[in-house]
Amino acid sequence: MDILQEIIAHKREEVAKMQAKKPSLREALLQSESGIIAEFKRKSPSKGWIKEEGRADLIPLSYQQNGAAALSILTDKAYFGGHDDFIRQARLSGVTIPILYKNFVIDGFQLYEAALCGASAVLLIAACLSVQQCSALLEKAHALGLEVLLEMHSEAELEYATLGPDLCGINNRNLGSFVTDVENSFRLAERLRSMCGNGPDAPVLVSESGISDPATVRALRQAGFRGFLIGENFMKTPDPGLALNEFVGKLKD
């Protein structure tokens, strides 16, 4: 085998790894007792730096070791101090559970970035997209082997749930004012469930942001949610993985 043949053979292996089926966020939440999507979030537009020194090769793996069903990793650099490489670093550190690529996706190019860095699913935000744009991005994400968590905040946005996402998220944080109200999930849950149905192919419901009490998680589960995205509550502590472990322990009490 000459050098070119050797390079091409190795390249085929690399491409095969990139195309390999990723761990399913949807299935992970359905099978998990906690349903917690632990978020690696170093910065917030409203709070500033939460953990500027936070390392993507340490905290995500610690989350996995301490009971997370899945991870969410912020990749927006300007406002959240994130980077695509954080997902790569997490994977290289040994993370095998599903990872949500959390960014403000407005173009199909970003979906290729998500797939290449090792994400399992991508966030699409109704407030950022028209129904037509969201539908096109959802279709493209599925073609690339990515699941879609479709995020909504208001009753007016619930029409997006009919596009066929794998997961439907209710954001408890208003993205305009950044005010957080967990009651938003409870307000919209029944309407969302009636629109999506309860069949085996119905999207999994996820409550996002502002969750800091295990009792809230239990109540949200009773309302039909199976995923609970929690980041700041863990990241603001000295040891986010330990904080997750303690939270999961209280869920079992």
**Based on the number of CB atoms within 10 Å of its own CB, is 114 exposed (0-12), middle (13-18) or buried (19 or more)?**
buried
- 209 flagged as catalytic: yes
Look up 6 and say whether it is catalytic. no
Out of 34, 66, 171, 185, the active site residue is: 171
**Active site includes 140?**
no
Among the options 44, 62, 72, 208, which is catalytic?
208
Annotated catalytic residue, options 66, 72, 151, 207 = 151
* Active-site choice (34, 102, 207, 232): 102
From the candidates 22, 34, 41, 207, which is the catalytic residue? 41
- 157 Cβ contact partners less than 8 Å away, ≥ 6 residues apart: 126, 127
| Nearest alpha carbon to residue 224 among 251, 181, 195, 252 | 195
For the question of residue 14 being annotated catalytic, the response is no
- DSSP letter for 196, please: H
Annotated catalytic residue, options 22, 32, 34, 39: 39
Q: Which of 66, 72, 209, 233 is catalytic?
A: 209
Q: Is 33 a catalytic residue?
A: no
Extended beta strands in the chain, E state: 36-40, 43-44, 48-49, 70-74, 99-102, 121-125, 147-152, 167-171, 204-208, 227-230
Q: Is 232 annotated as catalytic?
A: no
> Distance (Å, rounded) from C-alpha 143 to C-alpha 35?
26
* 246 tagged catalytic: no
* Residues contacting 100, CB < 8 A, separation 6+: 25, 37, 70, 71, 72, 73, 119, 120, 121, 122, 123, 149
- Catalytic machinery residues: 39, 41, 102, 151, 171, 208-209
